Amino acid sequence: MTHVDPRMQPCIDNCLDCYSVCLSTAMNHCLQVGGKHTEPSHFRLMMGCTEICRTTAHFMLIGSPHHVHLCRECAEICDECAEDCERIGDMDECVEACRRCAESCRQMAA
């Protein structure tokens, strides 16, 4: 059985947290509030962010060397999502989760 490199665990945890927080925010907050929270570009970005976070964690969990490429992309998308959620407002938990994930992914990609 392959064990996860302990240096990856914080990044995996941050990716999975961001996945969960962003998905929950999109489904339980943005769809209920509506307005600019459901702008197509914003909603697509949030859905993309959830998926890249989930996928990046998956690649680290299976020990794929390709996690480095995904971590770079994940950091970029999480940064963009954090900025957009901050622009719209009232999504502080999502902004914080995206920023934590972006930072750990940048470190993992280095």
Asked whether the predicted pLDDT for residue 1 surpasses 60, the reply is no
Asked whether the predicted pLDDT for residue 3 surpasses 80, the reply is no
- What fold is seen in the domain 9-109? Substrate Binding Domain Of Dnak; Chain:A; Domain 2 (1.20.1270)
Are 49 and 81 in contact by the 8 Å Cβ rule? The answer is: yes
The whole model's pTM is what?
0.94
Q: How confident is the model over 62-97, as pLDDT tens digits?
A: 999 999 999 999 999 999 999 999 999 999 999 999
